[in-house]
Amino acid sequence: MSIKIQGLSRDNYVLPGHTACPGCPETLGLRYVGMALGKDSIIVVPAGCSTIIQGTLPKSSIAMRVINVPFASSASVASGIANVKEILKIGGIPVVWAGDGATADIGFASLSGSAERNDDLIYICVDNEAYMNTGIQRSSLTPYGAWTSTTVTGKREDRKEVPLIMLLHKIPYTATASIAFPLDFISKLRKAATIRGFKYIHLHAPCPTGWRFDPSKTVEVAKLAVEVGAWILFEAEQHKLRLTPPSNIYLDKHKRKHIKDYISVQGRFKDLSEDDLRRFEDFINNTWELLLKFT
Ligand SMILES: Cc1ncc(C[n+]2csc(CCOP(=O)(O)OP(=O)(O)O)c2C)c(N)n1
Ligand code: SF4
């Protein structure tokens, strides 16, 4: 598979001096946002790891325009920017960069409201599947069976299906992406930037600190998630869905790697029983079925 992108900037907008853990997926993802959209984007960041990793004042390590906002408010702030930027003649696209806690839990009402109003902005959920910044607490996007500091014997509930929920908002563009497939993520961002209205991109971002794997393996773990079918890459324009490579290959279950290849490299799943594993697999199969209804 090869994706060619015209005029891809090699400029790096995430500078040395950031304070992320080694192997952080959020610095990788922010770098790709800069490469796709350039330094004129207006990045709206609610409380989370991406607030902290900007580095120590007075100089930020994120060389884009950044607004740090209260936890629940990112979509509302971006909505305000989208609505006044033409009057104030401010260039650039408002881009929310919010964790899974900020998106699926505390910020969900403002996200849903902004999508329903079809505000002209890009909302990215950077999903590391827990509240990492405050000590790895479970979120509604933590998968079934995963250890977190508030689910010490493994989470007993399934993940919320936020990409599906956003599809049902019938916004102009909904997509998933992974930090292991940067060109796919960048091309989806570029496409989103050409569409007027609300655009939602859900970025899978494995976190070595919270998921308990070696920091050198961030991209490998992210790739495995796609290869076992646990993370499905797609895009939907006007809620008509198309699987994007390589997930189109994994529509055929026999081409997927075994789920254990993904689970076994993460310390957070070390106590998963065979029954838990079956439930985990059932959840994945069900997600495929639900998504394919939109094709
Ligand atoms: C109203 C409110 N409640 C709680 C907090 C504390 N807090 C700051 S960041 C954070 C976790 C953020 O988790 P997530 O959105 O998943 O982003 P991540 O840190 O994983 O990038 C919490 C609970 C806060 N800042 N404001
Ligand atoms: S806890 Fe995870 S997401 Fe947060 S800075 Fe560290 S590696 Fe990045």
Which pTM value belongs to this model?
0.97
DSSP assignment letter at 91: -
Please identify, by atom number, the ligand 1 atom nearest to the C-alpha of residue 100: 16
Separation CA 193–CA 187 (nearest Å): 10
Mean pLDDT of 218-237: 98
Separation CA 48–CA 90 (nearest Å): 26
Separation CA 250–CA 136 (nearest Å): 30
Domain layout of the chain by residue ranges:
25-292
Question: What separation in Å is there between the alpha carbon of 23 and the centre of ligand 2?
Answer: 8
CA dihedral (166, 171, 175, 179) positive or negative = negative
Q: What is the pLDDT of residue 3?
A: 56
**Per residue in 189-219, pLDDT tens?**
999 999 999 999 999 999 999 999 999 999 9
Separation CA 217–CA 195 (nearest Å): 34
Residue 285 CB partners (closer than 8 Å, separation 6+):
none
3 state DSSP class of 284: helix
Give the chain's mean pLDDT. 94
- Residue 212's Cβ-side half-sphere holds a number of Cα atoms within 13 Å equal to 15
Q: What is the pLDDT of residue 4?
A: 60
Amino acid at 61: S
**Per residue in 105-114, pLDDT tens?**
999 999 999 9
CA dihedral (262, 265, 269, 270) positive or negative = positive
Does ligand 2 come within 6 angstroms of the Cβ of 207?
Answer: yes
Which residue out of 44, 71, 124 has the highest number of ligand 1 atoms within 8 Å of its CB and is therefore the one to mutate?
A: 71
Residue 115 CB partners (closer than 8 Å, separation 6+):
75, 123, 166, 169, 171, 198, 200
Residue 133 CB partners (closer than 8 Å, separation 6+):
47, 48, 49, 51, 52, 99
**Per residue in 22-75, pLDDT tens?**
999 999 999 999 999 988 789 999 999 999 999 876 778 999 999 999 999 999
**Per residue in 112-135, pLDDT tens?**
999 999 999 999 999 999 999 999
In which residue are the tokens 């790096």 written? 12
CATH 3.90.1150.10 fits 25-292, yes or no: no
**pLDDT: is 219 or 87 the higher one?**
219
